[in-house]
A and B are shown apart, each in its own frame.
Chain A
Amino acid sequence: MAKIATAARNPAHAGKNVGGEGVALKVLEPASRMSLRARPDTIAALSKALGVTLPQKPKSSAAKAGRTALWLGPDEWLVIDEAGGDPVADCAGVKGLHSAVDVSHRNVAIAVTGPNAAATISSGCPQDLSLAAFPVGAASRTILGKVEIVVLRTGEDTFRVECWRSFSDYVWGFLSEAARDAG
């Protein structure tokens, strides 16, 4: 009798969290992610297909119904869907030239929350994360220590840090140390 084998996906660092003085770290649930490249003439059609207006202002993001589009460059966006949708499938019907690549499992997301959240990230990120320079909704690709990350400010005291899966050990360790220092 053949046995039925089922494979379960175990996300990197699933369920980990660190609570410090004034800052908490939590590995977020897996999400659908898409790396999107497009020229200006396709932006409107892609926005319509995705149900979220692709931001065209540097360091900004737009969110609607569990889906967030982060401006990474003049023709590049990271689209994160936490509502179980499939952004790549949604773009499939768009005629204009574009590149939509599913990178869902490439990234690990860490929520950094609390009054010391900005200080925690700033321990390894050279960008100005003050509210004046990096307001709620601001998003940017940047660095943390020696690796590249994408930072999204989801609230005054909450950030979403996205890093590549193979860097997630380093990022988690870095942020955990920083959270202890920031407290």
Chain B
Amino acid sequence: MLLIRCPYCEEERPELEFRNAGEAHIARPTDIASISDEDFEKFFFIRSNKKGLVFERWRHVHGCARFFNAVRDSVSDKFLLTYKAGEPKPDVSTLTAEGGPAAWANRPPDQLNEKPKSKRSTKGEA
């Protein structure tokens, strides 16, 4: 099972407690009545749907119930970072994938909330 770090609960929790809530950092137009149909369509329906690093909203729905944001690799399913709602979009160039998704499971409890020490130290561990 994937473990996702909730920035409000300040620890990794099982994915079953979470729900995806779509793409993050989409600004709602300040005067939505005055924008054109084309602009509304872009705001409302069009999403980047990238392969690779994506910014997403998630909700810890069966936990603290808070929405937060996450940077996830849509290929490996790995979460690179989660941060509180309202915090600025992190700089992608400072983020690097650390290990595979399987490396985050099966860790003893005392290591569960530790950050990997070096960028590649957890690779291959499962």
Contact = CB atoms under 8 A, between A and B. Distances in A.
A76 B16 contact: no
B63 A142 contact: yes
Interface in B1-54: 1, 8-11, 13-14, 16-17
A102 interface: no
A126 B64 contact: no
B103 interface: no
Contacts of B13: 127, 142
Nearest to B64: A73
Contacts of B66: 73-74
Nearest to A74: B8
Given A73-B8, A126-B1, A141 B65 contact: yes
Interface residues of B, number: 17
Contacts of A45: none
A72 interface: yes
A94 interface: no
Interface in A102-147: 126-128, 130, 132-133, 140-143
Given A58-B9, A58-B10, A143-B17, A130 B109 contact: yes
B64 A76 contact: yes
B91 interface: no
Contacts of A126: 1, 14, 16-17
Nearest to B108: A132
Given A74-B64, A132-B109, 9 more contacts: A58-B9, A58-B11, A58-B64, A73-B8, A74-B66, A126-B1, A127-B14, A142-B63, A148-B62
